[in-house]
Amino acid sequence: MRYFVTGGAGFIGSNITDRLLDNNEQVIVYDNFSTGIEEFLFKAKKAENFRLVKGDLLDNETLAGAMRGCDIVIHFAANADVRFGTENPQKDLNQNIIATFNVLEAMRKNKIKKIVFSSTGSIYGESINIPTPEDAPFPVQTSIYGASKLGGESLIQAYCEGFGFQCWIFRFVSILGERYTHGHIFDFYKMLLHNPDELRVLGNGHQKKSYLYIQDCINAILFALEKSSEKVNIFNLGTNEYCEVNDSIGWIVENLGLKPEISYSGGDRGWIGDNPFIFLDCSKINKLGWKPELTIKSAVIKTLEYLKENEWVLKRR
């Protein structure tokens, strides 16, 4: 199969690219390198089955041309940071809604009908149903990021009905692991490198979050692609546990052998639209037969080890 991976130089995109190449699949990566990192493709670039196209999803002509001859699109390019939506809403509109629309139209032009999409648990807003299943009551959006991802999801679903597409939509919790480039571990490690005695935390540290290890995430995606063949396939992806930000801080400082003074910005959330409790009900994909292998704690430590061995990543963002 020939896979077209948008955002293939990003955290999740480059990891799935490597896995697909390991499985002897053909992969075309399409990335504008606005947040993608070319070094993440160092292994992929050595593979014969691999091709890299530098291009933007807002450039319809380049996009449609690059996609020619592919069998399936893995659309992982996105403005992926939920925290900065109120600073630049246009970015979420462009990168998460219009870009997704352009991908769908390029697929139509190329008669490609299968699409995998990285959505987010943020689209459940502040659900009162915790853990939150895929068919939770129709949520109210609380972040521009979540709203824009739901816009993308919705268009994909409508193309399935309208144009005979088939989709696999994954609503992720936060993903951790190798090539992780933003989020609390990134921020905390960077702060502690700068000053090992001080750590500033957004919110009160009691925000409850669930995390999933990148290789578990990719296992789940490829598993669902193989086992689930509805017209519209939607899965929550996470672990069946959660932790507080404070738990994660404990694991991080213990691993680093530090005892910083911790100060909190206060309040029950880290930023506008931050959900103080994200915990997804993943029983739908669990029942299909997938389970994560790593605990949240192991995933946090693995992420930290990666950052320690790859401090250059800290300077790139």
Q: How far is the CB of 159 from its own copies (least distance, A)?
A: 8
Q: Which is nearer to its own copies, 6 or 143 (CB)?
A: 143
* DSSP reduced 3-state for 176: strand
**Rounded CA gap, 50 and 182, in Å?**
26
First-residue to last-residue Cα distance in the chain:
34
Annotated catalytic residue within 145, 189, 211, 242: 145
Shortest separation between residue 158's beta carbon and its own copies, angstroms: 4
| Least distance CB 275 / its own copies (angstroms) | 10
Q: Which is nearer to its own copies, 193 or 272 (CB)?
A: 272
| Sequence letter at residue 135 | D
Supply the minimum distance, in Å, between the C-beta of residue 161 and its own copies.
Answer: 4
Answer for the pair 5, 57: CB distance below 8 angstroms, yes or no: no
Q: Is 213 a known active-site residue?
A: no
Choice between 60 and 295, CB closer to its own copies: 60
125 or 292: CB nearest its own copies: 125
Task: List interacting residues with its own copies (CB under 8 A).
Answer: 85-86, 89-90, 93, 97-98, 101, 104-105, 125, 134-144, 146-148, 150-151, 153-155, 157-159, 161-163, 232, 234, 272-273
Question: What values do phi and psi take at 83, rounded to 5?
Answer: -75, -25
**Inter-helix orientation angle 144-163/99-109, to 10°:** 20
Quickly count: other Cβ atoms within 10 Å of residue 134's Cβ: 16
Strand 261-264, strand 211-213: pairing = unpaired
The distance of closest approach from Cβ of residue 138 to its own copies in the complex, given in angstroms and rounded to an integer, is: 6
Determine how many CB atoms are found less than 10 A away from the CB of residue 225.
15
CB closer to its own copies out of 154 and 283: 154
DSSP string, 218-281: HHHHHHHHHH--SSEEEEEE--S--EEHHHHHHHHHHHHT---EEEE--SS-SSTT--SB--B-
State the catalytic residues. 145
